[in-house]
């Protein structure tokens, strides 16, 4: 893990690479380094980190920070295999403008995970080869992983509430 | 004249009777199902999805080629069985004749091998 | 595949079994338990089920002892189902070990695992493509009743296809599944075990629903489904 | 040059370039067919849209989601200690790894220290689970290659492993043996001897598999030089685990970033050379021996002491204490009703599962329910390697490659 100072150095390089307001912040929590960047700046930051040695993309997942704005977050866990270094590249977007540049160009392995984030959260990755739903049926409305999407399922039927459930004893 | 062929005819008749019996039995004994439920059983099975392969899909030529080669050389082996069983009774003439038969087929086999029809293309 | 998004208690595939057909069959089975089915329907229902002639009995004996299950591994229960024909728990003793891949040659569909909403039309189509007589075992809690995952993605098997035997467990032990198959065999051969009401002679203890006051409706600690705590 | 009748089904899969007229470069008409969700050799409900030219596969498009159970959504609805059984049912062949990935992430959030005995017990159970997962893989793959008898041997050993799990945790699969903070119970007397007897016996059984399969003419012809993917493409696709090690890259998180006291044991990482199906088979087969070594070393060095953390805020107090001490009763009641609260933050905890890097990302918002649980499943990412591995190969090689890829669809679809 790059320690706190290493993280700051990386952040400075990123600021130097892109324009100054690209890097929004860094956080070092439980020995894990996270760099938060503006969505527009994501691709250049990813290329810079790729050049710095983080050539392997371990995982890429979406998060819904429901009460806080901007709501949808996309995390890229990058890994530097030779000296076993992990860093997380984070970008946050709102629901109204959920577009994030796709990183399939740098890591072809991001194809499926990005499709899953689009399927589950509705984040649109521009530049993705074929952005379609991957887990839900193709014509499913709504993005299930969002915090405001109901968990669904059926109320549990007991004898005393059997007739309350519509359609059970019609 | 007829008597010498008697057993063959009886054999054929029994064959026919048994075949039709087995053919008609399900229709009589089996349960009668509504046509609709049978209709869904006639749809082609493609791993649980509606099949998109059209009926008149033209398969490649290589399948046909392999089938022909199989028939050629497999039937040849079937012809050898009766001879091999009764070789002593047939005498040396049958031995010579079979070896000519095999030699001819070997020529065909060599030709096919050299033309590369055996490799799957 | 044309994903027909009809309300999922119906079936996506072709076939005469329309949604209300299952509902009617289920309701009739329930009324049978309660013993209030009118006469001619009862006659027709029994005729369909009970085997009278000796030829049928012989056919049922043969079918019961050589059920060919279709390999329908969905999720974790499939791993336990796979260990059925294994050395320890050999179901070849009962004639079920020939797992057939295609529905044409199978007459028992073991739904082993969770049926997601994307998989439901496929399961229904495979059930339609199986040849009569066919039976269905819903193995595990997920296919019987959504089990652990009572959420948007799972559909219980009863919603879209008629199920003969439900095997509880998550995943059920292979012995439990074998017991389920043997119970199905008894059901096929006509001597289905009586329901618990007959076994314990509990006739007449059916709850009276409808106009009578719901038991525990105004009890303080009985929460109706969906309510978290009483206002 | 669209196909004559592009039905709804095609429009829906329009990303797949389908044409019934012979496209350029092919001398036969391309057939597109589903190696669909219900198929004996897809190791679960994986659907592949194959574009075939007679027998050679021109294009493979995996379509997944047929066993998507919304586990991550359900986990958000449960308290932390209740989410373990839900998370365990994701990759149903390596349930101890799922539980440890989740518990490890939560322990990292809570910043609590795990007693050494719990770490050793976790390592033993995880390595037993790795052996069981490789056995199920070997059995089902050999069925795909036609060697059905190997399936019976593998599942005989699997029953032995499940007996050990049942003895230590009471349940064969999805045992919920790992708790946040350690394990739920200490191992019963006699368990260690049984495990030693199993590992000794397992080595002889693994030798028998090797004798049966390694120099088998059919296995060699089916697996040698088929499904080759070079290391660079694999790294680009994010593939980890036996697939990457078979291509020559010795990346194993147990050695690279040791966790849960894996650095106390010395074991070797089997690595292949070419990265074809035969190497993948040999790498996984060799890993069974390594796991047996780890188990024996862990059993020899099993330290005494508590099997779960002493921090009563996280771990349930033992039952006998409830009768005497009031604090234990209060802790018990708090844990059982609401569960423990986790300080806000987000953590990614990667471990080495039998199929590759299994990472669990947990974000907590301070309440007693996780705000987000995401599992980076190795099979989900490894599945992207099917297309490069099987392009322009025969259907039989596609089946062999899929078997050697060992995808478990529960983990892929979550």
Question: Chains A, D: CB contacts under 8 A, how many?
Answer: 99
Percent of chain D surpassing pLDDT 90: 81
Q: Best residue in A75, A81, A109 to probe D by mutation, most D CBs within 10 Å?
A: A109
Residues of D in contact with C154 (CB under 8 A): 69-70
Question: What average pLDDT does the structure give for chain C?
Answer: 75
Q: What is the pLDDT of residue C32?
A: 64
Residues of D in contact with C71 (CB under 8 A): 40
Strands C108-112 and D178-179, bridge-based pairing: unpaired
Yes or no, beta carbons of D34 and B47 under 8 Å apart: yes
Mean pLDDT calculated for residue range D186-197: 95
Mean pLDDT calculated for residue range D363-378: 93
Q: How far apart are CA D65 and CA A162, in angstroms?
A: 32
**Is the distance from CB of D177 to CB of D99 less than 8 angstroms?**
yes
Residues of C in contact with D7 (CB under 8 A): 2
Answer whether B60 touches D (CB < 8 Å).
Answer: yes
Q: What is the pLDDT of residue C217?
A: 42
Q: How far apart are CA B12 and CA B23, in angstroms?
A: 16
Residues of C in contact with A164 (CB under 8 A): 224-225
Mean pLDDT calculated for residue range D195-208: 96
Lowest mean pLDDT among A56-70, C66-80, C209-223: C209-223
In this structure, chain D runs to a length of: 414
Mean pLDDT calculated for residue range A121-137: 91
pLDDT band per the 50, 70, 90 thresholds, residue D250? very high
Interface of C with D in 62-81 (CB under 8 A): 71-76, 78-80
Q: What is the pLDDT of residue C53?
A: 65
**Is the distance from CB of A127 to CB of A152 less than 8 angstroms?**
no
DSSP state of D368: S
Residue C17 has pLDDT above 80, yes or no: no
Q: How far apart are CA B44 and CA B56, in angstroms?
A: 14
Yes or no, beta carbons of C152 and D410 under 8 Å apart: no
Residue D15 has pLDDT above 60, yes or no: no
Residues linked to residue A27 through DSSP beta bridges, in sequence order: A34
Q: What is the pLDDT of residue C164?
A: 87
Residue D18 has pLDDT above 50, yes or no: no
Helical (H) or strand (E) element with D237 = helix D231-237
Kindly report the nearest CA distance between residue D152 and chain C, in angstroms: 6
Residue D13 has pLDDT above 50, yes or no: no
Question: Chains B, C: CB contacts under 8 A, how many?
Answer: 44
pLDDT band per the 50, 70, 90 thresholds, residue C33? low
Residues 6+ apart with CB under 8 A from D328: D312, D317, D318, D321, D322
Residue C153 has pLDDT above 50, yes or no: yes
Lowest mean pLDDT among A44-53, A146-155, C104-113: A146-155
Mean pLDDT calculated for residue range D255-281: 93
Yes or no, beta carbons of D36 and C122 under 8 Å apart: yes
Q: What's the token pair of residue C100?
A: 């057939």
Yes or no, beta carbons of C170 and D36 under 8 Å apart: no
CA angle C105, C108, C111 (to 5 degrees): 120
Q: What's the token pair of residue D70?
A: 């919304």
Question: Nearest chain B Cα to D35, which residue?
Answer: B47
Nearest to B52 by CA among A65, D49, A13: D49
pLDDT 10s digits, D295-307: 999 999 999 999 9
Residue D26 has pLDDT above 70, yes or no: no
Nearest CB neighbour to C225, from listed A149, A161, A169: A161
Other C-beta atoms lying within 10 Å of the C-beta of residue D38: 28
Residue D261's region, left for phi above 0, alpha for psi from -120 to 50, else beta, is left
Mean pLDDT calculated for residue range A61-87: 90
Percent of chain D surpassing pLDDT 70: 93
Residue C114 C-beta-side C-alpha neighbours within 13 Å: 31
pLDDT band per the 50, 70, 90 thresholds, residue D47? very high
Q: What is the pLDDT of residue D265?
A: 94
Residue D223 has pLDDT above 60, yes or no: yes
Residue D157 has pLDDT above 70, yes or no: yes
Nearest to D41 by CA among D122, D129, D140: D140
Nearest to D63 by CA among C124, A132, C5: A132
Q: What is the pLDDT of residue C220?
A: 38
Lowest mean pLDDT among A155-159, D45-49, D397-401: A155-159
pLDDT band per the 50, 70, 90 thresholds, residue D172? very high
pLDDT 10s digits, D256-266: 999 999 999 99
Tokens 């007897």: give the residue: D197
pLDDT band per the 50, 70, 90 thresholds, residue C146? confident
Yes or no, beta carbons of C226 and A155 under 8 Å apart: yes
Rg of chain C on CA atoms, in Å = 19
Q: How far apart are CA D171 and CA D184, in angstroms?
A: 13
Residues 6+ apart with CB under 8 A from A11: A23, A26, A35
Yes or no, beta carbons of D10 and B52 under 8 Å apart: yes
Nearest CB neighbour to C129, from listed B34, B36, B40: B40
Kindly report the nearest CA distance between residue A65 and chain D, in angstroms: 8
Question: What average pLDDT does the structure give for chain A?
Answer: 86
Answer whether C154 touches B (CB < 8 Å).
Answer: no
pLDDT 10s digits, A21-67: 778 888 888 888 999 999 988 998 999 899 988 999 999 999 999 88
Mean pLDDT calculated for residue range D153-178: 94
Nearest CB neighbour to B48, from listed D33, D36, D54: D36
Residues linked to residue D364 through DSSP beta bridges, in sequence order: D345, D370
| pTM score, whole prediction | 0.84
Q: What is the pLDDT of residue C206?
A: 66
Residue A167 has pLDDT above 60, yes or no: no
């Amino acid at each position: 893990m790059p320690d706190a100072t290493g993280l700051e150095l990386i952040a400075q390089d990123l600021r130097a690479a892109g324009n100054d307001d690209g890097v929004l912040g860094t956080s070092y929590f439980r020995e894990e380094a996270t760099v938060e960047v503006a969505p527009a700046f994501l691709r250049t930051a990813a290329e810079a980190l790729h050049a710095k040695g983080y050539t392997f993309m371990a995982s890429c997942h979406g998060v819904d920070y429901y009460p806080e704005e901007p709501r949808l977050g996309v995390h890229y866990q990058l890994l530097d295999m030779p000296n076993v270094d992990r860093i997380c590249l984070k970008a946050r977007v709102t629901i109204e403008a959920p577009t994030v540049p796709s990183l399939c160009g740098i890591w072809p392995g991001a194809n499926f995970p990005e499709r899953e984030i689009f399927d589950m959260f509705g984040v649109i990755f521009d530049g993705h080869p074929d952005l379609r739903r991957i887990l839900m049926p193709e014509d499913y409305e709504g993005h299930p992983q969002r915090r405001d999407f109901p968990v669904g399922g059926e109320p549990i039927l007991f004898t005393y509430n059997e007739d309350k459930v519509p359609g059970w004893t019609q | 004249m007829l008597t010498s062929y008697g057993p063959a005819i009886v054999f054929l008749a029994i064959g026919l009777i048994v075949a039709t019996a087995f053919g008609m039995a399900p229709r009589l004994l089996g349960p009668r199902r509504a046509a609709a439920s049978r209709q869904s059983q006639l749809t082609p099975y493609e791993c649980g999805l509606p099949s998109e392969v059209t009926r008149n899909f033209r398969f490649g030529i290589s399948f046909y080629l392999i089938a022909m080669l199989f028939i050629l050389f497999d039937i040849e082996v079937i012809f050898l069985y009766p001879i091999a069983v009764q070789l002593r009774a047939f005498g040396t003439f049958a031995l010579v004749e079979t070896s000519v038969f095999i030699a001819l087929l070997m020529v065909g086999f060599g030709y096919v091998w050299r033309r590369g029809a055996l490799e799957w293309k | 595949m044309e994903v027909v998004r009809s309300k999922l208690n119906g079936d996506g595939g072709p076939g005469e079994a329309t949604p209300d057909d299952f509902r009617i069959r289920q309701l009739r089975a329930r009324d049978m338990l309660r013993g209030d089915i009118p006469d001619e329907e009862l006659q027709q229902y029994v005729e369909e089920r009970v085997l009278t002639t000796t030829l049928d009995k012989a056919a049922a004996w043969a079918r019961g002892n050589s059920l060919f299950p279709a390999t329908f591994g969905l999720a974790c229960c499939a791993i336990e189902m796979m260990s059925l024909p294994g050395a320890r728990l050999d179901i070849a003793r009962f004639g079920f070990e020939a797992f057939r891949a295609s529905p044409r040659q199978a007459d028992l569909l073991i739904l082993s695992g969770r049926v997601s909403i994307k998989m439901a039309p496929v399961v229904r189509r495979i059930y339609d493509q199986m040849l009569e007589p066919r039976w269905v075992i819903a193995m595990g809690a997920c296919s019987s009743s959504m089990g652990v995952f009572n959420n948007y993605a799972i559909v219980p098997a009863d919603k879209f296809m008629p199920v003969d035997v439900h095997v509880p467990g998550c995943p059920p032990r292979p012995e439990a599944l074998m017991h389920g198959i043997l119970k199905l065999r008894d059901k096929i051969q006509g001597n289905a075990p009586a329901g618990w009401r007959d076994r314990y002679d509990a006739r007449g203890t059916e709850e009276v629903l409808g106009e009578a006051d719901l038991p525990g409706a105004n009890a303080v600690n009985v929460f109706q489904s969906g309510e978290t705590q009483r206002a | 040059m669209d196909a004559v009748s592009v039905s709804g089904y095609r429009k829906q899969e329009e990303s797949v370039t389908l044409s019934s007229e012979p496209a350029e470069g092919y001398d036969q008409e391309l057939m597109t067919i589903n190696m669909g969700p219900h198929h004996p050799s897809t190791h679960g409900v994986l659907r592949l849209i194959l574009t075939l030219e007679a027998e050679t596969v021109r294009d493979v498009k995996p379509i997944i989601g047929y066993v998507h159970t919304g586990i991550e959504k359900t986990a958000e609805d449960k308290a932390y200690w209740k989410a373990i059984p839900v998370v365990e049912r994701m990759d149903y062949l390596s349930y101890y790894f799922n539980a440890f990935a989740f518990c490890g992430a939560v322990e990292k959030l809570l910043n609590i220290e795990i007693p050494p005995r719990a770490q050793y017990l976790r390592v033993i159970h995880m390595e037993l689970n790795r052996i069981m997962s490789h056995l199920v893989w070997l059995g089902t793959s050999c069925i795909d290659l036609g060697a059905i008898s190997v399936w019976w041997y593998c599942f005989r050993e699997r029953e032995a492993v499940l007996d050990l799990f049942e003895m230590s945790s009471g349940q064969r699969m999805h045992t919920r043996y790992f708790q946040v903070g350690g394990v739920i119970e200490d191992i019963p007397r006699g368990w260690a001897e049984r495990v030693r007897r199993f590992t000794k016996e397992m080595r002889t059984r693994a030798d028998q598999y090797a004798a049966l399969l390694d120099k088998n003419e059919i296995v060699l012809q089916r697996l040698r030089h088929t499904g080759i993917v070079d290391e660079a493409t694999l790294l680009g696709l994010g593939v980890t685990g036996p697939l990457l090690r078979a291509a020559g890259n010795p990346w194993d998180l147990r050695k690279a970033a040791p966790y849960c006291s894996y650095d106390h044991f010395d074991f070797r990482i089997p690595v292949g050379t070419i990265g074809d199906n035969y190497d993948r088979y040999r790498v996984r087969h060799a890993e069974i021996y390594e796991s047996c070594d780890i188990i024996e070393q862990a059993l020899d060095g099993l330290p005494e002491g508590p099997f779960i953390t002493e921090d009563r805020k996280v771990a349930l107090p033992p039952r006998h204490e409830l009768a005497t001490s009031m604090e234990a009763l209060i802790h018990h009641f708090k844990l059982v009703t609401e569960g423990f609260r986790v300080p806000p933050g987000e953590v990614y905890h990667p471990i080495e599962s039998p199929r590759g890097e299994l990472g669990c990302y947990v974000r907590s918002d301070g309440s007693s329910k996780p705000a987000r649980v995401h599992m980076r499943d190795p099979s989900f990412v490894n599945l992207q390697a099917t297309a490069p591995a099987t392009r322009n190969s025969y259907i039989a090689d596609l089946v062999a490659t899929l078997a050697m890829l060992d995808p478990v669809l529960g983990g892929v679809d979550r």
